[in-house]
Structure 1
């Protein structure tokens, strides 16, 4: 155990320990009690609430789940980028592979002694460690045999899945797999790895503690196998080789793939695998990949059609369930319009029909049903616009938190010399990046710039006046302003040309409360843009017909 934990450096400072071990205040206790539901599992307690405040310092930056300000989609998107770069690597001399680990009965197999030693090596105060271990080891069980309880017995390992502290403990345990003992020792670097700031020449890429990207050779596989064996012995964890998969780059020969997969004892993964609920690769046939959303929605609606439901009940089920099924994938990918149309068709058939596989007259088009209730609609979602609003939310997070692992990864690959609003499509982009550009377009058309040093604002393109109009001029020359802009705008520009070289230009969203972007406000803006474009197309068509008749 000491051999594994010897590389772990203390990260909990003395100041943090003083905060963690301070007497509990009345406000903390009241706050924890108010978050306890009478008919559900207990929510976060005082210890959990204190650990949350220092969690960003304790855990590795590749961990995103359960961390305030982080999102599980960050790891999923990074993993997709890794699979995409592995797929693009055709170098036979420097082949790589991505290795996805799956732990068997992860919560049930945690050794308490290893957890305690891990917390002490991280730097927790002994009193805090003792308090946490008392919470962990105080459990006991009684088994019913023929309806009668037997004697109590105490386990020696395992964590309760419903405990709010349990997922924090896994963060502590995974630090042992993210230390300098991990491979690779190869001193050369793949050409594509230079674009990944979190990849080093002496260590593999690690995402979420379960995804490794290393060189495709027997030496690297041997190091991984040794690390897994040591980790299993000291922690009690067990790698599920049947569910673990390996994904090779295009330059790795079939014979080498088979050899390395056999050494690890795992199966090779094709193009149809998944990671954290999203596809690991999306090829040309995107409709085929996302057809499973339609299948899931259709299956759910068929189960409901066996029951008699009123119109109000159908509306609730469509909004709360059917249109919520694709939400997770819509936050990461631009779902093809054909799939969105099929999803709308499934919802429409369920709304107008009653019996299984019954098709009835649709007395209103789906577009009208998606209109607001004040416009005589039912406020169903238009999934295409909702998808764009979800992607815009992801882009807003990246722009706001430029130091996150996902933001740094995308910046190194697609826009190393500017920001995400000036980024281009790039060469051989991933489907994640092209999807984010769809959301970026919506965000760019609705946001307004707050003037700072003026370096990020483009003349003739970006809106920066308070009403969302106007452009930036590099010089405060009102003569040039009067030449370029209408006289009605000159006074607005004059009042907003106060440059501040100490501050960067910032964006804000004037369409939501507190100038904060929300999916709801983005959805409404996307609807307004769509209606304006439809009106413009109609005017152009009428003008073309008018010119034809006039000729």
Structure 2
């Protein structure tokens, strides 16, 4: 089917085979470099500005399989530790260690899978911030017409785009909370509306008799307290 803007037009079949072109693309770029003439600082700049940026456009739309993320990380780590690619060098530290921020003893490289989820969470956040945009109206009509994109809704035959965006829901819920306003749309026991760190729903101290109770049920409609 070919590609459009670097993304495969047909997303069916094995996702590992589908996105294998990302590693090939990265390796083609790496094999064209001669890192023996570069300092470690030069290699760091190449990795952060080029290698880690290559799959960004695809990752902002699709959730890459863990196998693909590990292959990309392995290829970047091989370039970092090797003095003469494609020969393999000695890996003196784990990839997770060098991905830590500098103040924690790392170099600040991106964890591929976590960065993928962060990009998808940004997409999900835009669906909430701009509900009148074209993509938000299309997805709302298909997947969450009477609800919110933050709620888990079972749908038949979801597209891989929606499956990917939905995978970032748990990450986004760690850092956002519902504004109460009238409270009619906020569920007491399910939605994160308590302003703690991290935000959370209310916690019952006894068996829940009304699982679908809304925050509006807790508000005195006369005094608004």
Which of 29, 40, 64 is 1:335 aligned to? 64
Q: Which residue of 1 is the match for residue 112 of structure 2?
A: 383
1:456 partnered with 2:182:
no
Query: For the Cα contact (< 8 Å) 2:35–2:43, is it kept in 1?
Result: no
Q: Which residue of 1 is the match for residue 49 of structure 2?
A: 320
1:296 partnered with 2:25:
yes
Deviations 1:323-361 (A, max 9, x none): 000000111000111111111111111100021321121
- Residues in 2 aligned to 1:335 and 1:386: alpha-carbon distance in whole angstroms: 11
1:356 partnered with 2:81:
no
Q: Which residue of 2 is the match for residue 409 of structure 1?
A: 138
Q: Return the offset for 1:305.
A: 2.8
Query: For the Cα contact (< 8 Å) 1:454–1:472, is it kept in 2?
Result: no
**Match runs of 1:137-148 below 5 Å:** none
- Residues in 1 aligned to 2:2 and 2:142: alpha-carbon distance in whole angstroms: 23
In structure 2, relative to structure 1, the CA distance for the partners of 1:445 and 1:456 (3 Å cut) is farther
**Match runs of 1:4-403 below 5 Å:** 272-305=1-34, 307-403=36-132
- Rg larger in structure: 1
Q: TM-score, normalised by structure 1?
A: 0.36
Q: Which residue of 2 is the match for residue 244 of structure 1?
A: none
Query: For the Cα contact (< 8 Å) 1:415–1:423, is it kept in 2?
Result: no
How many residues are matched? 211
Structure 1 runs not aligned, ≥5 long: 1-271, 474-480, 485-496, 501-551
Q: Return the offset for 1:450.
A: 1.6
Q: Return the offset for 1:417.
A: 1.5
- Residues in 2 aligned to 1:456 and 1:273: alpha-carbon distance in whole angstroms: 44
**Which structure has the highest strand share of the two?**
1
Q: Which residue of 1 is the match for residue 201 of structure 2?
A: 471
Q: Return the offset for 1:469.
A: 4.1
Which of 144, 147, 171 is 1:418 aligned to? 147
Query: For the Cα contact (< 8 Å) 2:175–2:199, is it kept in 1?
Result: no
Q: Which residue of 1 is the match for residue 175 of structure 2?
A: 446
In structure 2, relative to structure 1, the CA distance for the partners of 1:453 and 1:443 (3 Å cut) is same
Q: Which residue of 1 is the match for residue 211 of structure 2?
A: none
Q: Which residue of 2 is the match for residue 541 of structure 1?
A: none
Deviations 1:498-532 (A, max 9, x none): 589xxxxxxxxxxxxxxxxxxxxxxxxxxxxxxxx
Q: Which residue of 1 is the match for residue 215 of structure 2?
A: none
Structure 2 runs not aligned, ≥5 long: 208-217
- Residues in 2 aligned to 1:280 and 1:370: alpha-carbon distance in whole angstroms: 32
Query: For the Cα contact (< 8 Å) 1:458–1:472, is it kept in 2?
Result: no
Q: Return the offset for 1:392.
A: 0.3
Deviations 1:441-476 (A, max 9, x none): 211232112211223322323221222445359xxx
Query: For the Cα contact (< 8 Å) 1:395–1:436, is it kept in 2?
Result: yes
1:446 partner SS: coil
Q: Which residue of 1 is the match for residue 159 of structure 2?
A: 430
Deviations 1:477-504 (A, max 9, x none): xxxx8868xxxxxxxxxxxx6589xxxx
In structure 2, relative to structure 1, the CA distance for the partners of 1:461 and 1:346 (3 Å cut) is same
In structure 2, relative to structure 1, the CA distance for the partners of 1:369 and 1:306 (3 Å cut) is closer
Query: For the Cα contact (< 8 Å) 1:454–1:499, is it kept in 2?
Result: no
Q: Return the offset for 1:300.
A: 1.0
Query: For the Cα contact (< 8 Å) 1:453–1:499, is it kept in 2?
Result: no
- Residues in 2 aligned to 1:306 and 1:398: alpha-carbon distance in whole angstroms: 42
- Residues in 1 aligned to 2:69 and 2:37: alpha-carbon distance in whole angstroms: 27
Query: For the Cα contact (< 8 Å) 2:101–2:108, is it kept in 1?
Result: yes
2:37 partner SS: coil
- Residues in 2 aligned to 1:472 and 1:355: alpha-carbon distance in whole angstroms: 57
In structure 2, relative to structure 1, the CA distance for the partners of 1:373 and 1:421 (3 Å cut) is same
- Residues in 1 aligned to 2:206 and 2:85: alpha-carbon distance in whole angstroms: 67
Q: Return the offset for 1:372.
A: 1.2
- Residues in 2 aligned to 1:458 and 1:335: alpha-carbon distance in whole angstroms: 32
- Residues in 2 aligned to 1:394 and 1:363: alpha-carbon distance in whole angstroms: 36
